[in-house]
Amino acid sequence: MKESNERKLTSISKADTLEAISEFWDSHSLDDYWDQTHEAEFELRLRRRRRVTLTPEIYEKIEALALEQGVLPETLVNLWLAEHLNNQPSNP
């Protein structure tokens, strides 16, 4: 594979940073560029989400607190769990 010091531009936006690409697509429609696209194949290896069952009473309290804080209940629970786990002593 040939190495190059030049930044690679995206084919449609001609942008060379993620921010510039984002700004381009925030102000342009893919509809206008559809004929310049091509089919692509790729594999995704998604990390599987795990579910934890809560009692309805606990969920209602979490839902109310999340609403007050302007976040989803799932986000609030993940933040709480991460904080709790970070405060635990490390296992040897």
Domain boundaries, the chain: 7-42, 47-92
| Tens digits of residue pLDDT in 38-92 | 888 988 888 888 899 999 999 999 999 999 999 999 999 999 999 999 999 875 4
pTM greater than 0.85: no
Residue 45: predicted pLDDT: 87
Residues 7-13: contacts with CB within 8 Å, 24+ apart? 11/36, 12/36, 12/37
Separation between Cα atoms, residue 78 and residue 66, nearest integer Å: 11
15: confidence class by pLDDT, cuts 50, 70, 90:
confident
Question: In the predicted model, is pLDDT for residue 33 greater than 60?
Answer: yes
Question: In the predicted model, is pLDDT for residue 7 greater than 80?
Answer: no
